[in-house]
Copies of this chain bind each other. A is one copy, B any other.
Amino acid sequence: VAGEGEFDFIARRLAPLTRGQPGAYGLKDDGAILVPSPGQAFAVTSDTLVEGVHFPVDEDPFKVAWKALAANVSDLVAMGAEPKSYLLNVVWPRSGPEARMDGFVDGLAKAQDAFGLTLAGGDTTSADGPWTISMTAMGEVPRGRTPRRGGARADDILVVTNQIGDAWLGLELRLGAVSIDDEDARAHFDAAFSLPFPPVALCAAINDCAHAAIDVSDGLLADLGHILSASGLRASVDLQDVPVSNFAKAWLAAQPDEAAARLLLATGGDDYEVIAAIPEDAIGRFEQRCEEAGQRVTRIGVLEAGEGLQVTFGESPVETDALGFTHF
């Protein structure tokens, strides 16, 4: 990018994001040294976001940074891992204005402080192509105890955190595919889409209580499907039980077909909430801890022997041909 070399960008703008974490060496070395706390393992996850694929072209760079970090933190939360460090690999478009570096670094700073992790390394380069951001995030989880997609058991209670579908409405608003008059609702949906906040306050509770967990990125039903197939279980979900915001309720009330509209919310994705399978003897404790952390949690079903996901709206079965989103 014109006027600023790779080393300057790292030294002046990114190095402060290490917040003095000693193993990051102020980003002056080729790597970082990271040690988990006693009794802890590292949970490690990695995601790539490409302009025009995972976020809109000309998106506010603050939001790009925030969402990239949120997507990785969300995976850690679903593993019950407290976010600690991340590595950042950026490919800047050669044509891109230097101005977006400021917003991007500001977004990283705000998001990492909100989620509780610090920058430990990475690299930057530029190329003739779309803006591409890869992040690898590391969190700490007690050794030998991690909820997994495949860890659910029959009779576990399915819960989902906070609410589902606001991010999809934010995306549809962006695309001009829905129109909503209420300005507060529009702002709420846009923030849900572009500044998601995974339930980091629940890492320890998820780790302590959940047999299985997954974050909602592909869509509630698709991600629940991952738990079912990995665990070899079945479930029924009534769309009326899927928690939605009051803004989304107002939108639903204006739709001609509530079942179809609720299905859209439950398949939209980008929610960055958590679906967890909690055994009966831990559900009270889990709900208590969610309440203490100020996080809503809703029961949406019970796991059973068998396979497949049945979706209903009240008494009526709902067809779910195309669940979620596949890249490629």
- The chain A residues found within 8 Å of chain B, CB to CB, are 1, 4-7, 9, 23, 25, 28-36, 41-48, 50, 52-54, 75-76, 78-79, 81, 85, 87-92, 120-130, 132, 134, 136, 138, 141, 143, 146, 148-150, 214-215, 230, 326-328
Contact = CB atoms under 8 A, between A and B. Distances in A.
A4 B121 CA distance: 33
A35 B148 CA distance: 17
Contacts of A214: 30
Given A6-B328, A148-B25, A326-B5, A125 B48 contact: yes
A147 to B, nearest CB: 9
Given A4-B328, A52-B128, A123-B47, A79 B134 contact: no
A130 B5 CA distance: 22
A46 B143 contact: no
Given A53-B127, A89-B47, A150 B28 contact: yes
A34 B30 contact: no
Contacts of A141: 33
A41 B33 contact: yes
A121 B46 contact: yes
A100 B327 CA distance: 18
Contact of A48 (B36, B91, B143): B91
B7 A53 contact: no
Contact of A328 (B45, B76, B81, B126): B126
A48 B215 contact: no
Given A6-B328, A45-B121, A327-B6, A136 B87 contact: yes
B43 A32 contact: yes
Contacts of A125: 48, 50, 53-54, 327-328
Given A36-B35, A143-B35, A46 B91 contact: no
6 contacts: A28-B150, A33-B141, A44-B120, A44-B121, A46-B122, A87-B136
Given A89-B46, A89-B47, A327 B134 contact: no
A34 B42 contact: yes
A230 B25 CA distance: 11
Contacts of A85: 44
Nearest to A3: B328
Most central of A7, A44, A132 by chain B CB within 10 Å = A44
Nearest to A229: B28
B42 A79 contact: no
A297 to B, nearest CB: 20
Contacts of A43: 31-33
Contact of A31 (B54, B75, B124): B75
Contacts of A121: 44-46
Given A31-B79, A44-B32, A89 B134 contact: yes
Contacts of A23: 41
A78 B29 CA distance: 10
A71 B129 CA distance: 22
